[in-house]
Chain A
Amino acid sequence: MSFKLITLVVIVLGILAIAQLVRVYELSSKLRNRREEDISNRDNKMNGNLMMLFSIIQYIGFIWLMLKYGWTGRGEAASVHGLETDWLLNLNFVIILIAFFATNSLLFYFSFKYVRKPGVKAYYFTHDNKLELIWTVIPAIVLAIIIILGLKTWNNITGESGKESIKIELFSKQFDWTARYSGEDNKLGYSDYKLTTQENELGLITTATLDSAIRLMEIGKLDGTVLGIQLLEEKLNNPKNIFVPEELVKMENDLDRKTRLLRLLVQMQKRHNKKMDARAFDDIIQKDTLHLCVNKEYEMSFRAKDVIHSAYFPHFRAQMNAVPGLVTRLKVIPNMTTQEMRIKKKNPKFNYVLMCNKICGGAHYKMKMIVVVDTPAQYKAWMKTKTNFKDVFLAKPVVTPATPVDGAVVADTSMMAVK
């Protein structure tokens, strides 16, 4: 309350003060018979000088910022392509800084030097083809160089990855990342979003996951946390339940949607080839940190579950969007272990990171994953501690009733409890 009052008082006083100043100024103008559109030589000169002063202060501020923070405040690049990008970035910065300083200096100098002086008339100069040709051609040449070098680097960055490259997947959802290593066969198992269940968050396709997804869709979960078609129908048809109309409509729509999705799942099951199971089963799913091995080429692919996210590795100078319905890819060769970087940065707590860099909801800013670049030995040792998808998935039997006889009642009461 007091804050509002103070603000109000300050604003009112400020306006009154300016009003008084303006009154005084107007009176004095009137006395001296000065009109607002006549800019006095003194004002002119003062503003010209201020222009010069401003440009000097601006340069000092800029150079100070550059010395203090450099043009890569995130430190040296930690990937092979990142080094190339940084080299090119530096070159481009040199070019644009020359352009910036040259033209800005001329601008401020001219506006200081050529302020109106009594008796000096402006020089009538309408055009000069030669001059104009020169300053069309010079930027054109410089830009041609920038384009050629840029495209060369771009092709290197986006080109095919080598046969030896390690395949991994980064799966994004609001608001975290999940990594999937391709296991011994170095092939990522296939996936489909319709197979997503609590036990199979990435929707990997195997005979077992298909089965369990279909069962879940057909029936639901015993504890009522997931309503399959059957549980939904029972709930709808149970005379004991009374629904408000909107809820009823929503449930009926749900039922229809699930029926259609089930049909698609069943079709998928029919097409499924058991031989493909191994491809997914040996994958390794990893949640909190992403471990990479130094100097290995990684072919990363990205998927998104809900909205667009973007995988941003600031220290590798690499970035790629993860788009629902699309698989995108990126090639990265980390070339400095976390340990080496910590020493370089003199910061024992430093870690590489994978950040989300596409607005994706309220907690967008927290959506990150620590990245650790290991030596080959460390990496191997770490990998040994991991369990593959098969063992994880089959260890947790899915809790759907095998026979849907009296499950209905159970589900129903648990549903009430949930509500």
Chain B
Amino acid sequence: MGALAHEAHGHHGAHDHHEHHDEGFVSKYIFSMDHKMISKQYLMTAVFMGLVAMLLSILFRIQLAWPGESSDFLTLFLGETWAPGGVLKENMYLGLVTIHGTIMVFFLLTGGLSGTFSNLLIPFQIGARDMASGFLNMLSYWMFFLSSTIMMISLFIETGPAMAGWTIYPPLSALPQAIEGSGLGMTLWLTSMSIFIASSLLGSLNYIVTVLNLRTKGMKMTRLPLTIWAFFVTAILGVLSFPVLLSAALLLLMDRSAGTSFYLSDIIVGGEMLENHGGSPLLYQHLFWFLGHPEVYIVLLPALGLSSEIIATNSRKPIFGYRAMIGSILAIGFLSFIVWGHHMFITGMNPFIGSVFVFTTLLIAIPSAVKVFNYLTTLWRGSLILTPAMLFAIGLVSTFISGGVTGIILADSALDIAVHDTYFVVAHFHVVMGMSAVFGMFAGVYHWFPKMYGKMLNTRLGYAHFWVTLIGAYGVFFPMHFVGLAGAPRRYYDYSVYGEFDTNSYEMIMDLNVVITVFAIIAAIGQGFFLFNFFYSIARGPKTVMNPWRSTTLEWTTPVEHIHGNWPGALPEVHRWPYDYSKPGQEEDFVSQIVPLAEGEEEAH
């Protein structure tokens, strides 16, 4: 500890040491340009949005488990308008599913996860005083906030929120006559998402520029912690793919309001014969999934980056195959741009093109497998400290495996034809996104909470939270695979329709739906442990020390109290890679990046 502290001290009187004294409330807490504060703002917003989305899922899960039965819980939240007599309305079911998916994917795991941890860790871990542009960074957060607000408002309007699924395929999303949510609700959805995309672009550009330009002396690209590599590639994916979604959304807006026919052709809806001719709904799907697939890695890579760091620290071992890990991140990032067609095998797309996408998609499994093996080897012969963060990181690896292997089924068009759009898909993406990525986010919060708030979270509550979440979430998503293999289509309001033709499947699906909902409720209640812990510890948690996890990276060389510019003196200089844990010949079981190589010591990589 002494070794790393002395470097950071002893440079008193450096330029911006006292700037932070005379800040007003507004510029410190609201329109802050400081990456640490912005990161906390992102986290708070994400926690709120995540809670809402979780609540929505419980509402529609109640309908799935006990279709048509009156529920006080539904009345409580939805009132007579959307749940007359305590029974959810068909259209609102779709509305809830849509907003649940949208919030989870975009607001919790794209905005929330990247926003929180890229902001927190990029300047800290590369040794920068702040982001390249504090102003754009602030703008990015407030646009995120605005888009979240609009998305929330759309839940309360008379015709209901968007109801076309989070993928909002036209024509359903283009025609208010087809479903009521495609009126004002869809307009708000598109507005919110356009602002969200702008926010995400501002954020990503900032991350990229910061990583490229503001690394401190000695911080070569090959000395960056894997977190930074993950955020960096994530940001590049975002910059390259989100604009395509924006264009898809703009064309959709034009089809909706300007009478164009990008996605519409030969339609009769609500008794009205439309003139639109020559457009193609498939065009939208191509544009959407050109973002959509990179998006799942935008969601996942930061989680993998965070867990790499956490696993190395808490195994007291270097991450195994550092270079291979970087290589896999780059390979995954690149390949994620040429696989989007695997969402479209049965849309009527040319089967030969489908074959090409089968090939590219299955290629991604290789770098993913490499990552898993590297995690396993990192754990092997480690000296594991099972902090709550570490537990979540291990949980992430487990779910990354479970969700990854089912991806192999879905990537194979000949098999996808049997399970596409069934609950098997729902199970698959929940295991990778709803579990892996969310676990990564939790791991990050538990690990960097001391850095964000200067306090410690309660470990026991962390344990309780982890175990309830792991058991609850596997209890929800494991059985879902079987529901899917029984052929149950997704986005169905009521599976008792099965009673009319296949009583065997009917019984199985109805039984499992109850099991799933019960586990979902348990998991949801389990989040209470986290929420309580989080807010209680912010207010009253025990104070932390500078480097609680005895970690090597630069963020742990900054003082506990947040200051402008992060380091009180000169910026630290980096002399080694970030994973010198348990290096033979060293006194401590970790050597901070700022400690120069000893004479004759070799740098690992």
| Residues on A facing B (Cβ under 8 Å) | 3-4, 7, 14-15, 18-19, 22, 25-26, 29, 35-37, 39, 43-44, 47-48, 50-51, 54, 58, 61-62, 65, 69-75, 82, 84-86, 88-89, 92-93, 95-97, 99-100, 103-104, 106-108, 110-111, 114-117, 120-128, 131-132, 135-136, 139-140, 143, 146-147, 150-151, 153-155, 157-158, 173-174, 192-194, 196, 257, 260-261, 305-308, 310, 312, 314-315, 317-321, 323-326, 328-329, 345, 347, 349-353, 355-366, 368, 370
Contacts and interface: CB of A to CB of B under 8 A. Distances in A.
A132 B370 contact: yes
A117 B381 CA distance: 11
Nearest to B172: A307
Contact of A324 (B266, B487, B589): B266
Interface string B443-459: 00000001000001111
Contacts, number: 407
B383 A323 contact: no
Interface in B410-426: 412-415, 417-418, 420-422
A107 B376 contact: yes
B508 A73 contact: yes
A203 to B, nearest CB: 9
Chain B, interface residues (CB within 8 Å), range: 35 or more
A47 to B, nearest CB: 4
B589 A261 contact: no
Interface in B242-270: 264-269
Contacts of A359: 94, 164-165, 169, 172, 491
Contacts of A368: 497, 501
A259 B320 CA distance: 71
Given A312-B421, A324-B264, A364-B493, A174 B178 contact: yes
B581 interface: yes
Interface of B: 72-73, 75-76, 89-91, 94, 163-165, 169, 171-172, 175, 178-179, 264-269, 273, 275, 277-282, 315-318, 320-324, 346-348, 351, 354-355, 358-359, 362-363, 365-366, 369-370, 372-377, 379-387, 391, 394, 397-398, 401-402, 405-406, 408-409, 412-415, 417-418, 420-422, 450, 456-461, 463, 467, 470-471, 474, 478-479, 482-483, 485-487, 489-495, 497, 500-505, 508, 528-529, 532, 536, 541-542, 544-545, 548-549, 579, 581-584, 589, 604-605
B90 A363 contact: yes
B434 to A, nearest CB: 17
A168 B54 CA distance: 44
18 contacts: A36-B456, A36-B541, A36-B548, A37-B545, A39-B387, A48-B386, A96-B408, A104-B401, A110-B380, A114-B384, A122-B317, A123-B381, A124-B583, A126-B579, A193-B273, A312-B421, A357-B421, A357-B422
Given A89-B409, A126-B318, A3 B76 contact: yes
B544 A37 contact: yes
Contacts of A93: 409
Ranked nearest first, the 9 interchain pairs of A and B with the lowest CB-CB distance are: A325-B265, A73-B486, A314-B487, A328-B348, A36-B456, A158-B351, A153-B414, A96-B405, A37-B548
A351 B405 CA distance: 32
B478 A310 contact: no
Contact of A39 (B94, B385, B589): B385
Contacts of A360: 172, 178
A121 B159 CA distance: 63
A61 B475 CA distance: 9
A337 to B, nearest CB: 15
B321 A127 contact: yes
Given A125-B377, A305-B269, A318-B418, 11 more contacts: A37-B456, A37-B544, A132-B321, A139-B365, A139-B370, A143-B362, A305-B267, A317-B418, A321-B348, A328-B347, A359-B164
A99 B402 CA distance: 9
A44 B605 CA distance: 29
A243 B387 CA distance: 71
A362 to B, nearest CB: 4
A69 B346 CA distance: 26
Contacts of B322: 126-127
Contacts of B275: 257, 260-261
Contact of B171 (A65, A111, A196, A324): A324
Nearest to A310: B421
Nearest to B405: A96
Given A44-B385, A347-B504, A362-B179, A96 B409 contact: yes
Given A124-B583, A158-B351, A364-B491, A65 B479 contact: yes
B253 to A, nearest CB: 18
Contact of B502 (A150, A174, A328, A350): A350
A115 B165 contact: no
Given A89-B409, A127-B322, A350-B504, A196 B273 contact: yes
Nearest to A330: B346
Contact of B346 (A7, A140, A153, A319): A319
Nearest to B345: A154
A48 B379 CA distance: 12
B478 A61 contact: yes
A14 B528 contact: yes
A365 B365 contact: no
Contacts of B165: 359
Nearest to B372: A103
A65 B502 contact: no
B326 to A, nearest CB: 12
Given A69-B485, A69-B508, A124-B318, A364 B366 contact: no
Given A73-B486, A325-B264, A110 B282 contact: no
Contact of B589 (A50, A122, A366): A122
A396 B179 CA distance: 32
Nearest to A95: B408
A122 B281 CA distance: 56
B417 A358 contact: no
Contacts of A351: 500-502
B7 to A, nearest CB: 22
Contacts of B175: 306-307
A115 B384 contact: yes
A319 B323 contact: no
Contacts of A54: 467, 470-471
Nearest to A70: B485
A74 B487 contact: yes
Nearest to A61: B478
Contacts of B471: 54
A127 B348 contact: no
Given A71-B485, A122-B582, A325 B266 contact: yes
